[in-house]
Structure 1
Amino acid sequence: MYSQEQCPPAVSEERMGTTGRPGVPQDGKAWSQNHGCKAGGIFGEPFKTDMMNGKRLFRVFLVFLCGCCVAGCRSTTLEQNENGVIGYREYELLVASEQVPGLVWSCGMNIRADVYAVKMEDTREWEAFGHSIGGFEYESGYEYRIRISESDYLDYTMATPAWTEYDLLEILSKEKKNSDGLPEHFIPEWFSE
């Protein structure tokens, strides 16, 4: 019998039996049990089978993987919180020389207001544009060709786009004229009923 100090390391060539597994000689008993050692293995416990060590390794891997996933989600959320923009685009508008009566959506209901009559880059018909454009100082009697940006912001409490901001990027042209083909209004029939 060995004293505790004389016990050999957990795995040695001497302990490798014909089974090819450390600590399990041909007779099936662990070397440490045959020689009276109380503790063996790297964790100070009686020698564990390969399967137990595999399960422990698998659990450590799962904890590590979950930690990485949580850390990845957290950093993405922080990046979105910094700017809050979830959608962005730029485009050109032709703004008519007069504003036209239309509807503006505000506080959950439609409100009558004068809106810009605009033509998008690839349309021929005038459309209502009932949003304010940051940095754009409109003068009646002038037809404008402008380039604007549209930024959508996320409401984190509802996980939906909460508001959209429009900003002037550039005035491409400003011409004193009366715009042709303007409708009398952009108010749909259902609103009057």
Structure 2
Amino acid sequence: MNERCTWCGSDPLYVAYHDDEWGVPEYDARALWEKLVLDGFQAGLSWITILRKRDAFREEFEGFDPQRVASWDAARIERALQNPGIIRHRGKIESTVRGAQRFLEIEGQEGFAPWLWSFVGGQPIQNDFASMAEVPAATPESTAMSKALKKRGFNFCGPVITYAFMQATGMVNDHVTTCPQHAGVKALTVGG
């Protein structure tokens, strides 16, 4: 029985995201930061809302170039707050600027991607859940990542947000075992 994960429903945008992106291991530092930012913007909202606005976010945040976003001043933040294409939440926008600055520090010290991947031992965790009801909202690994991010100065990165981030970026494979993507994502892991 091949049934994809039920959370994506039948919306073509959501299905494409599920089939092509969700759970695929991501090792690019900039792409990881973008996903972390977008998951922070999702707080209190549905992921499909963010997904529909993702192109506008990418345009507003200059391709999620941390170097550029880190230099934003108050006027640039105000400009972003006027963009109806994104979620206009001052705290989340200011958090993105701070996050870009923290990203640059971590990238320069130990590498942002290796640091994030260290919370799962550098390899995706392969789960074998039969149904979405078995998938946790947070794990010890996401809690540890959340605490470490907050200690480094990031916001909007609680354990539930960081677990969603870990699922999306392939740090954990939470495609249910009946989903056609489960085996394909698992095969992307060295020794899968």
State TM-score, norm by structure 1.
0.23
State TM-score, norm by structure 2.
0.23
Q: Which has the higher contact order (CA 8 A, sep 6+)?
A: 2
Max radius of gyration: which structure? 1
User: Of Structure 1 and Structure 2, which has the larger fraction of its residues in helix?
Assistant: 2
User: Of Structure 1 and Structure 2, which has the larger fraction of its residues in strand?
Assistant: 1
